[in-house]
Every structure is written in structure tokens, then in C-alpha cells.
Amino acid sequence: MHAARRNTPADPTDEQSPLAPWGASERQRLLESLRPGAEDGHPGWDLVVVGAGITGAGIARDAAMRGLRVLVVDANDLAYGTSSRSSRLIHGGVRYLEQGQVGLVYEALRERTRLYKTASHLVQPADFLFPAYDGDRLPLWKLRVGLALYDALSLYRTHHRSVRAEQAHQREPLLAEEGLRGAVIYEDAVTDDARLTLTTLQSARRSGAEVLTYAEVVSLGRDQESQWVQLSDGLRIRATRVVVAAGPWTSERLLGETGKHLLALSKGIHVVMRASDVPIRQPLVVQVRRSKRIIFVIPWGNRTYLGTTDTAYEGDPGASGVMEEDYAELFPLIQRILPTAPLTRDRVVSAWSGVRPLVRSGPPRPGSSTINISRKHRLVENSDGIIGLVGGKLTTYRAMAKEAVDHVVRAIRAAEPEREIPRCTTHLHPLVPGDELGDDALRDPLIADLAPRHGPYARTLAERVRSDPSLSGRLVEDLPYRWVEVDQAIRFEGSWHLDDILRRRLPLALTDHRHGGEVARTIATRLIDARGGSGADIEEEILRYRESLLRETGYDLNPSSASSSARP
């Protein structure tokens, strides 16, 4: 039985292995392997990870590469929560230096360097421009001092530079001239958070891990034989160890008393504009006066996004939404330094909202701010020996995962002293195997469109297009997403619902001014044809996507007329 197999560590020489299928038939096979009787009364898994966000993905990859038998379960899609709703940055966190979190910044910069090597197509370096104006809380000299320390903590792999006001304005003509004192320029990186999560899970699957989405966990516990995970359909899955990596859903319900008051939730929103409306040349960092916050303005192909806010949040992390008051807060903060940009509601393409899981340092206090809460992570263990990994940053997910898997390995070795489990090697092997794409390959418009999301696998997708030219076209004329990627999402990327594809595999919900309305029905039909179902299932998928779009972005979908409008 598959669930009872003993994995062997990933072979670093097996770097040309094709991407394993991950569609409806693979899901059904996995469900059958989990049914009662498949485990023969013994724990079928070394490790069950609760949560398929970036933290859970990192844990699964690390553990599977060490030869552990790993299962990941999630109540929703992979990267459904914070891991597809971040600021899409891989960065050390300049502002954390002011809070004295030097160790966190050092770790993040180290991990940034490693991601440049292991996820080079998904983590792209960029020069960030950080201007200083009269009246800003951090004057230019303080920015210089802070960035000098930032360089040192990166072990001088990067070097900031300072420019005068006129030079800053030449680099970025949209900047307000009045009161501009100068700017610092430093390196950080941009990424696609949802694709980074997906690609990490695909790497975990190549090493033998299994992933089951849309499988809600209702309780966790242990008995004399093992720990267990109870799903909402009544299925109980046994494992030697369970790790909860559920982000903002980590709670007392999953961890008992250990999870009580563990997290403070912080809501952040981002707004997407057309690049023609906000034609910035590089990422900008905006100081928020009378606050320790900073805001980013980031180029994103034919779009530009702005964010983030930072407000305390209570309620369902998946339903935070974008409200009118969020726009009213964000726009004036950016308009101060980009006075000619038309930051108005009628110019907005889309928006997203996410909830950060921040680790509390003490009991909750009504009305307290989340701005100064540390972004450090914490590893906890409850009375049943179930581990929780909470907090942290997208940038440091690999290091967090290593700490959690090291903890699991120590427990397994205590029970099985004869078992050999190797050390972590996740920093040594790329998420996507194969030779990087050179300039010659990127001259092909098809590969150039595919490469930022698929890396070396873009070659495989291009070959598929050559076999079936109907897959070559773009879904939307001014965006780089191709029909072959829909095929890929259904067959190889674990997509189960329409919103999985239009929100997290290909972000049309965020970048298309019609939010995928022109193609939603066609994609839903292809999905149901592959999954099995009827016309009613197609209509249900469109309704589900419409509801999720409205809940997160505030925009409605009208697939019949291929149009959408802002929610009043």
C-alpha cells in the first residue's frame, strides 16, 4: 500500500525527472489509500502536515527529501491563505532593523540568497528606491546608516547607494519634487508567492510526499499507537508525528490550550492598478509618517500594485476582504509622493486582502496595534506532542521548515534508534530541476511568457504547444498567461476548483480587469471534463469563483457578458 511505503532520500542526480501528474485520478488514488484498512493497524505516515501554505510546503519538501513518508492536508486549496495574499516580496525587512530584530534580518537575507539559487525563476532581484522627504520620520542619514547595516548582514553580497534629490527624480520621474531630500537604492527581491508554494509542493511530491487539499481537519490527538488527524468526513489518519502549519488558522481548536491566544492577526490589503496609470520604473518604498510602517509600490508587468496596510483583524482569515476604508487609508499615503498618479477607485483593476499570523508576546490587549509585533516564528508543542509552527516570514520559510523537521527527526530517532535519517539539504537543490533558460530560449515569445512561472519546465510546456497549437494563445491579450497553463494547472498542479486556477495558478482575478470573465466558462468546462461532472457542476464552479472573487477583492464577475464591476 502506498501510504505505508518507506521513502528514500531524494537523489540529487535525478534532476531531469518529469513533473509528476497531479490531477483528479491522482487525488482519487490517494483518497483510496487513506481509507480504513489501508494502514494495517500501524501508522502509515512518518509525518502529517496540517496546512498547505508556504510553511507546510517547506516542511513537506524537507521531510520528504530526508526519506520520511509525508502527507500534507489542507481544508482549502494550496496557498489559499496568507501564502497567496502577501506583498510578494523576498526581503530581509529593512524596517525590522529599527525594531532591533537583527537576527531576523540576517536570517532573511541569508534565505534570500539561497532562494536566488534554488528558485531563480520565481525570486528575482530588483533595485528598490527608498526616498526621504522633509518631515519623514526617517531622514536620509538614518536610511544610509540602516542600509549600511543591511549590507553588512547580507555579508556584502549587495551594496546600497545614496543619490541626491535630482538623481532620485531622474530615476523615478513620478516622485514629488517638493521636499525630496534624496533616496537610497538597495537590493531585495520580488516573487510570486502562490507559485512559490506550489513549486515547493511539487518538489516535495517528486521526493514522495502526498498532498490532499479540500480535506478539513476537525481534530488532532494521540493514543498509545500514534498521533492522529481526524478529517471532516470521519477519516482518521495516523502518523508518527503531526505538525500544524495552518498559518492564521492555527488555534486552540487544533492545538488545545497551547494554541490559545497564540496569535495576533493583522490584515493587509494590496491594490492593483494599470502600469499605464502608475508607470513606476522600479519598486518604491514609501514611509508612513507618524508610524513605523512602510508601504511598497511594485511594478508587475502590465500592472502595478500598492500595499500594504497593517490593521488588527478578528474573524475568518479567509474572508478579510477589501473595504472602502482600506482604499481611503492607502491612497493618500502613496499620493503624497506620487501626486500625479490617478489613485482613484475607478482606476483600480483588482485588489487582494490577506491576514498575517503574528506570534503574541503576551495576552491580548483590546485595541493594541499589530505594527510592532515581531515577525519571528515560534515552534510549540502541546501535551499530545503535536507540533505547531507559527509566525515567521515568507522569506524564511525554508529555515523555519528545517527547524520543524529537525524536531520531528529527533522524535523519530528516539523511537527508532536504528533508523538513519539524513540532514537537511533543501538549500542545495533547485525547486525545479533542469538547466536554466538562456537568452536564446527567452527570445521565443511563448517561452518568455511561461518562464517566470515555470522556469525550466517552460520547455516542456512549449513542446506541448507544438503538439497542440490550440494551447498556444493568451487567455487575455495584455497578460502573459497561456492556455497551455490551464492544461498544466488541471493535469499537473493539483487544481480542483475554478478559483484555484484563476486566483492561485494564474492570477487573472488580480490582474485582468474582467477578472477572468471572458474565459471562466471555458476553463470551468475543461476542469469538469477532466474531473468528471455535468453542466450543473460547471455552473457551480462559476458561482463558487464569483463568490470567492467578491469576498476577497470586492469585485463581481459576470461571465455571460465577460464584464465585472466594483461592488458598491
Residue 279 and residue 158 share a domain:
yes
Q: Please give the pLDDT value at position 62.
A: 98
pLDDT tens-digit readout, 373-430: 777 899 999 999 999 999 999 999 999 999 999 999 999 999 899 999 999 999 999 9
Per-residue pLDDT at 40 exceeds 60: no
Kindly report, residue by residue over 203-229, the tens digit of the pLDDT: 999 999 999 999 999 999 999 889 999
The verdict on 355 and 275 lying in the same domain is yes
Q: What is the pLDDT of residue 368?
A: 58
pLDDT at 224 (0 to 100): 86
Same domain, yes or no, for 185 and 198?
no
Q: How confident is the model at residue 291 (pLDDT cuts 50, 70, 90)?
A: confident
Is 101 within the bounds of a domain?
no
290 and 256: one domain? Answer: no
- The yes-or-no verdict on residue 365 having pLDDT over 80 is no
- Within a domain: residue 39? no
Domain count, the chain: 3
Shared domain check, 177 and 271? yes
Question: Is there a single domain that holds both residue 301 and residue 244?
Answer: no
Residue 300 is part of a domain; what is its CATH number?
3.30.9.10
pLDDT bin (cut points 50, 70, 90) of residue 12 is: very low
Mean confidence (pLDDT) of the chain = 92
Residue 320 has phi, psi (to 5 degrees) of -70, -40
Q: What is the Cα–Cα distance from 323 to 506, expressed in whole angstroms?
A: 24
Residue 22 in domain: no
Domain contains 293: yes
Identify whether the C-beta of residue 552 lies closer than 8 Å to the C-beta of residue 352.
yes
Q: Answer yes or no: is 149 within a domain.
A: yes
Residue 108 is assigned to a structural domain of this protein: no
Tens of pLDDT, residues 417-455: 999 999 999 999 999 999 999 999 999 999 999 999 999
In this structure, the answer to whether residues 255 and 296 fall within a common structural domain is no
Q: Per-residue pLDDT for 564 more than 50?
A: no
pLDDT at position 184? 98
pLDDT score, position 15: 41
Percent of the chain with pLDDT over 90: 86
**pLDDT score of 292 more than 90:** no
Q: Are residues 173 and 276 in the same domain?
A: yes
Q: Is the peptide bond before 258 cis (omega within 30 degrees of 0)?
A: no
**What CATH number is associated with residue 398?**
3.50.50.60
Looking at residue 495, the DSSP 8-state letter turns out to be -
Average pLDDT over residues 159-173: 97
Domain that holds residue 530: 473-553
Q: What band does 565 get if pLDDT is binned at 50, 70 and 90?
A: very low
Domain assignment of residue 451, yes or no: no
- pLDDT tens-place string over residues 81-134: 999 999 999 999 998 888 889 999 999 999 999 999 999 999 999 999 999 999
Does one domain contain both 274 and 160? yes
Buried b or exposed e, range 503-528, using 16+ CB within 10 angstroms: bbbbbbbbbbbbbbbbbbbebbbbbb
Same domain, 203 and 345: no
- DSSP state, 555? B
Report how far Cα 378 is from the mean position of its chain's Cα atoms.
19
If asked whether residues 275 and 352 sit together in one domain, one would say: yes
Q: How far apart are CA 400 and CA 523, in angstroms?
A: 36
- pTM here is 0.94
Task: Give the model's pLDDT for residue 290.
Answer: 85
Buried b (16+ CB within 10 A) or exposed e, 164-177: ebeebbebbebbee
Same-domain status, 184 and 272: yes
Strand partners, 354: 268
pLDDT (average), residues 48-54? 98
Q: pLDDT at position 550, please?
A: 95
Report pLDDT digits (tens) over 340-362: 999 999 999 999 999 999 998 76
Single out the residue in 359, 385, 410 at which a domain terminates. 359
DSSP 3-state of 161:
strand
Q: What is the pLDDT of residue 539?
A: 97
Give the residue from 298, 332, 359 where a domain finishes: 359
**DSSP letters of 373-420?**
S---EEEEE-TT--EEEEE--GGGHHHHHHHHHHHHHHHHHHH-TT--
Digit-coded pLDDT (tens) for 267-286: 999 999 999 999 999 999 99
Residue 392 lies in a domain: yes
pLDDT score at 557: 87
DSSP element (H, E) containing 356: strand 348-359
Q: Which residue has the higher pLDDT, 557 or 387?
A: 387
Q: What is the pLDDT of residue 520?
A: 97
